[in-house]
Amino acid sequence: MTITKTAFGQTPDGQTADLYTLTNGNGMKVQITNYGGIITSIVVPDKNGKFEDVALGYDNLADYIKNSPYFGALIGRYGNRIAGGKFTLDGKEYKLFINNDPNSLHGGKKGFDKVLWKAEPVEGADVVGLKLTYLSKDMEEGYPGNLNATVWYFLTRDNELQIKYEATTDKPTVVNLTNHSYFNLAGAGNGDVLDHVMMLNADRFLPVDKTLIPTGELRPVKGTPFDFTTPTPIGKNIKADDEQVKFGNGWDHAWVLNKPKAGELTLAARVVEPTSGRMLEMYTTEPAVQFYSGNFLDGTTVGKGGKPYKFRYAFCLEAEHYPDSPNQPKFPSTVLRPGETYRQTTVYKFSTK
């Protein structure tokens, strides 16, 4: 297991971002830059041992800085949407940047995906990894409290990419961290993902309004197009005549994960690409997963190796607390107070079938 480092490019304020390459004994390779904590590539074998990069992204830092729909990035301080870009905590109202009219999305104008993290390689007996740290200052992007965030990426001997998050604060705040990798198990840029077969370990999902803010209802998936409790092609019901599917222009919703005990690391999703046989299993401690089917990709984004990323050329499985939790007291809390530690673990496990 090895980790190496090369320069990746300059940020607009003249700092150097690095690119770390993690490899394990099976030839699986993961590349991560400390700009935005972005996973820039994940190279895994298919059932015949043919390696492909299954993560969408760019060849160089400049493209990430110019325009990226959060490819591979760490998302914070609050992943997903906060209604109207505001919330009240302990009687005080906080205003956020509205970057997804009329809501605030994925941390605001300059979220954790656009900052330079401090990076430190770590090596263990069965893992090779990268530790990233970032201090988000009090009132940065409108969020209260100095937040010390730490994220570890680990590549294991059995082709798991583990992500561990921790954060502490000196004032009450809200936190919801995730990773926004875009996957295509046939290889990034090699067609849409509608034939990928997916299982979501979720009996309920969160219906949304037309700005994609949850209504507060936890709706059973049974009998709706949102039922992925058994393996189902992603494209099967994506054009269903259903208000919720239309609001998302396809899948762009949070599914509530079946979890015997809150905070337990359990299976959230299993996705198989039938031709290559590549399989991705996701485990998380989080209560929900935002499953997004790349509905905003339109071919104008040209990615690694000059390949255009067209409509629904990828899927994202973002482990997180429910969207808009700071405004919805009935949802599991995203409030972090001084003295507490925010923790989340998500594992993406690659294999073949």
Q: Is 43 in the site for ligand GLA (CB under 6 A)?
A: no
Burial 246-266 (b: 16+ CB within 10 A, else e): ebbebbbbbbbbebeeeeeee
Q: Is 255 in the site for ligand GLA (CB under 6 A)?
A: no
- How far is C-alpha 278 from the chain's CA centre? 20
**Which is the catalytic residue, given 140, 160, 286, 318?**
318
Over the window 207 to 226, marking each residue x when it contacts ligand GLA by CB under 6 A and - when it does not, the resulting string is -----x--------------
Nearer to ligand GLA, 103 or 173 (CB): 103
CB of 296 to ligand GLA, least distance (A): 5
- Give the 3-state secondary structure of residue 114: helix
DSSP string of 28-80? Answer: -EEEEESBTT-EEEEEEE-TTS-EEE-B---SSHHHHHH--S-TTEEE-SB-S
Q: Is 286 a catalytic residue?
A: no
| Count of residues that bind ligand GLA according to CB under 6 A | 11
CB of 295 to ligand GLA, least distance (A): 8
- Read off the tokens for 82: 């906060």
Of 36-44, 201-209, 223-231, 289-297: span binding ligand GLA (CB under 6 A): 289-297
Instruction: Give the CA diameter of the chain.
Output: 59
Over the window 46 to 85, marking each residue x when it contacts ligand GLA by CB under 6 A and - when it does not, the resulting string is -----------------------xx---------x-----
Q: Is 200 in the site for ligand GLA (CB under 6 A)?
A: no
Nearer to ligand GLA, 105 or 127 (CB): 105
**Cα 281 from Cα 52, distance rounded (Å):** 17
Nearer to ligand GLA, 111 or 145 (CB): 111
How many Cβ atoms from other residues are within 10 Å of residue 139's Cβ? 12
**Cα 204 from Cα 249, distance rounded (Å):** 19
Give, for 283, the enclosing helix (H) or strand (E). strand 278-284
Q: Is 182 in the site for ligand GLA (CB under 6 A)?
A: no
Q: Is 30 in the site for ligand GLA (CB under 6 A)?
A: no
Q: How open is the CA angle 311-82-281, to the nearest 5 degrees? A: 50
Q: Is 105 in the site for ligand GLA (CB under 6 A)?
A: yes
Q: What residues numbered 122-181 form the site for ligand GLA, per CB under 6 A?
A: none
Nearer to ligand GLA, 20 or 348 (CB): 348
Of 120-128, 166-174, 222-230, 288-296: span binding ligand GLA (CB under 6 A): 288-296
Nearer to ligand GLA, 123 or 298 (CB): 298
Whose CA is closest to 78, among 298, 251, 328? 328
Q: Is 292 in the site for ligand GLA (CB under 6 A)?
A: yes
Question: How many residues are there in the chain?
Answer: 353
Q: Is 318 a catalytic residue?
A: yes
Distances (CA, A) of 44 to 29, 30, 184, 307: 7, 9, 11, 19
**Which is the catalytic residue, given 52, 141, 180, 320?**
180
- Read off the tokens for 132: 């990233």
Residues that bind ligand GLA (CB under 6 A): 69-70, 80, 105, 212, 252, 290, 292, 296, 316, 318
**Residues involved in catalysis:** 180, 318
